[in-house]
Structure 1
Amino acid sequence: MTDQVHIHTHGRAGHISLNRPKALHALTLDMCHAISAALGAWAGDDAINAILLDHSEGRGFCAGGDINLLRHSALTDDGASGRAFFHDEYQLNHRMFEYEKPIVAFMDGITMGGGVGIAMPCKYRVATENTRFAMPETGIGLFPDVGGGWHLSRLGGRLGQFLALTGARLDGAECLWAGIATHYLPSDKLAEAKARISENPERVAGILSELAITPPEARIEGNADLIQKHFASDSYEEILASLEAEANDAGGEWAARELATLHTKSPQTCKVALRQLATSAALGNFAENMAMEYRIASRVLTRPDFAEGVRAVIVDKTNDPKWDPATPEGVSEELLDSIFAPLPADQEWKPL
């Protein structure tokens, strides 16, 4: 279907290997379709008992989605092709979340955005010393989609809200500590893990545990109390005020640093992310979450901040986005309501 994904079988395992190394294996629509088709075929194949998900080469497991396509869509077709991308990408996220056979994601490298979307639904999520996990969407006027509302809202200690707003990067040890990863393996053991799982797919958990090692100390654990304290509110203004109060005190370096980070983000999408996570935490199933995120994506895609954020951060690399609205106070509840509002019935997202 596409040379951007290698799809084959080894023993009793299906193997999906992302293959866009120059783009850090960022997902295209063709890749989403190819992965979904493979999973569909293997679902009813009694000879396949587990799925391996990795990347072919390079330092990225999967760095995200097709941002260039999305920006081009926002600028040229009023978001039509972007909405089509989101729709099918979210179908893949949902298929993986509901998949009955175990999927093992090897997050050996950069795992961001769309990469998080295909890693987090997997039953087994393997981190290594190379893992760099983040949901950095608020920096480009987007929001932590691809199931981010569901996954991040279910992390403890307000860590999900912290990651959603700041786009902070976690290493493999931090991913294991946070529960984002289920196992931590040295990268030189991954080939053995895949070979053994292919031979004995009913022993996935045991094989990964046998090869796992104790990771280094999780650095973010040292800031866990600060994160829980300052990111406790679902009000963005209250989070900023909490950080400002401590940043002005002696020893407030951490608060000052996080405050400075937040000041670079889109106020609109920071507020969207907080409402998204609060709403998702109360939802009963993943499909409801994806329907909500599709509504948000359909609106945010064509609002000013997305095209501007991608221009400043990715295209021109000037890092000087002019957000609109420019301040948190300018992002009204009415604007948020319009972003989260139901779509016309024939445009709503539904699972396959």
Structure 2
Amino acid sequence: MSSDIGIRFEERGALGIVTLDRPRALNALDHAMVLAMREALDGWLDNPRIAQVVLRSAHERAFCVGGDVRAMAALGRAGRKEEARQYWRDEYALDHLISRYPKPFVSLVDGLCFGGGFGLTGHSRYRVAGEGLGFAMPEVAIGLFPDVGGTFVLPRLPGWSGTWLAMTGARIGMSDAVALGLYTHHVPVARWPGLLAALAGGEPADAALARLAMRPPAPALQSLYPDIDRIFAGGSVDAIVIALEKVGASEGPAAEFARGQLDTIRRASPTSVHIAFQQMQRGLGADLAGCLGLEFRLVTRLLDQNDFYEGVRALLVDKDQKPAWRPARLEDVDPVAIAALFDEPLPDELLLA
């Protein structure tokens, strides 16, 4: 298939290759790309020649900076919310398919990988990080929340690192992403052509990765992990904010870190920060399908509220960096209203087998 829609498919020996190729948008994932990838993966399921699948990007700078939220916000503003909802319905179904794909599925990730990019890769059997990886789930900054299965993955990371990543949208590099278990292997990008050749020639993915993977350097943030755990173990958003203020009032690396995280949280959508915290509280109680179903409830309801549209406007369209959140402060968010976003069923729930 042509890259005219931002994605290409190739069969090379025993290998099916999916290549994201939408460079001007940093491979932001739109609806046509989601549908095309689903069609290709379904076709390879029944193709006896294809033994393994690889997902990669054609570009060094970015693997995928997330879902095409500008397009979704435009649809919502135009009164076409059902079309936006269908995008998320199809995207989440694709993420779920990848999580249970019966053939070995290898994601090769280098450059920026945010949001929807992690949805495509974070549930695959083999998650391979290149040295230039930059991972983040930054949705709270635009009035959304860490979706595409973030409710499932992030609470299962070591300690309270997932709560930190969810509430702040912090970006981490390859060494920390591998150390936290977001990726299964580090293979330097220079070795990727050899990996592809081995997989196309029929070498099992686990054997090829064991042969080509390297031990990553020590995590860049390792010294801060105990501080992250102490701060983000709080039982409420308020408790975490108080802990950040207390640690930030002192001196040293932990204090500088805490001040930065508090500033980030206070600039994000207050509603989104509260949603992200609740995701981390609830995610351990559901499987991936259940978590994606919860996220579909959330995104449906946020299409009827202010902050998603305002966040996209302020950060991605007008780029004035001055979103007018409603409510404007963390302290003004109603916990009952947040719980209702999660708990009230939709008339058309997302049900994934």
Identify the TM-score tier after normalising by the shorter chain: over 0.9
Report the counterpart of residue 224 of structure 2 in structure 1.
223
Aligned counterpart in structure 1 of residue 193 of structure 2, from 188, 191, 194: 191
- Alignment partner, residue 251 of structure 2: 250
Aligned counterpart, 1:95: 97
1:2–1:31 Cα contact (<8 Å) kept: no
Q: SS in structure 1 opposite 2:17?
A: strand
Which of 115, 120, 123 does residue 113 from structure 1 map onto?
115
Question: Deviation at 1:344?
Answer: 3.5
Local SS of the residue matching 1:219: coil
Offset of 1:91 from its aligned partner? 0.7
The answer as to whether partners of 1:139 and 1:167 remain within 8 angstroms in 2 is yes
Match of 1:280 among 280, 283, 296: 283
- Equivalent AA in structure 2 for residue 231 of structure 1: F
Matched with 1:262 is 265
Please say if residues 115 and 147 of structure 2, whose CA atoms lie closer than 8 Å, have aligned partners that are also in contact: yes
Partner Cα separation in structure 1 for residue 237 and residue 303 of structure 2 = 21
Contact 1:78 1:302 in 2 (8 A): no
Q: Name the aligned partner's letter for residue 260 of structure 1.
A: D
The equivalent of 1:318 in structure 2 is 320
The answer to whether 1:307 aligns with 2:309 is yes
SS of the residue corresponding to residue 267 of structure 2 reads: coil
1:271 aligns with 2:281: no
Q: Structure 1 CA distance, aligned partners of 2:65 and 2:17?
A: 19
CA distance in 2, matches of 1:85, 1:234: 34
Equivalent residue for 1:204?
A: 205
Distance 1:339 1:348 in 2: 13
Q: Distance in 2 between matches of 1:321 and 1:5?
A: 32
Q: Could you tell me how far apart the structure 2 residues matched to 1:7 and 1:239 are?
A: 45
AA aligned opposite 1:136: P
CA distance in 1, matches of 2:208, 2:29: 29
Query: Partners in 2 of 1:342 and 1:92 — Cα distance?
Result: 24
Aligned residue in 2 for 1:235: 236
Match for residue 334 of structure 1?
336
Q: Distance in 2 between matches of 1:179 and 1:341?
A: 30
Residue pair 1:142, 1:301 contacting (<8 A) in 2 also? no
Question: What is the rounded CA distance, in whole Å, between the counterparts of 1:149 and 1:268 in structure 2?
Answer: 16
SS in 2 for 1:125: strand
Deviations 1:38-75 (A, max 9, x none): 11111122221110000122411111011111111221
Among candidates 167, 171, 176, match of residue 174 of structure 1: 176
Q: 1:234 to 1:198 in 2, by over 3 A?
A: farther
Cα separation, 1, equivalents of 2:190 and 2:147 = 32
Decide which of 2, 10, 13 is 1:11's aligned counterpart.
Answer: 13
- Please state whether the residue corresponding to 2:166 is helix, strand or coil: helix
RMSD across aligned C-alpha pairs, in angstroms?
A: 1.4
Q: Is the 8 A contact 2:70 2:316 kept in 1?
A: no
Q: Give the superposition deviation at 1:79.
A: 2.2
Give TM-score scaled by structure 2 length. 0.95
Match of 1:152 among 149, 154, 162: 154
Unmatched segments (≥5 aa) in structure 1: none
Report the residue type matching 2:352 in the other structure.
P
Q: TM-score, normalised by structure 1?
A: 0.96
The size of the alignment, in residue pairs, is: 349
User: Aligned match of 1:129 in 123, 131, 149?
Assistant: 131
Moved more, 128-137 or 315-324: 315-324
1:2 Cα offset (Å): 5.8
Match of 1:293 in 2: 295
The amino acid across from 1:250 in the alignment is E
Q: Which runs of 5 or more structure 2 residues have no equivalent in the other structure?
A: none
Q: Which amino acid aligns with 1:262?
A: I
Query: C-alpha separation between the residues in 2 aligned to 1:156 and 1:113?
Result: 20
> Are 1:54 and 1:61, in contact at CA under 8 Å, matched by a contact in 2?
yes
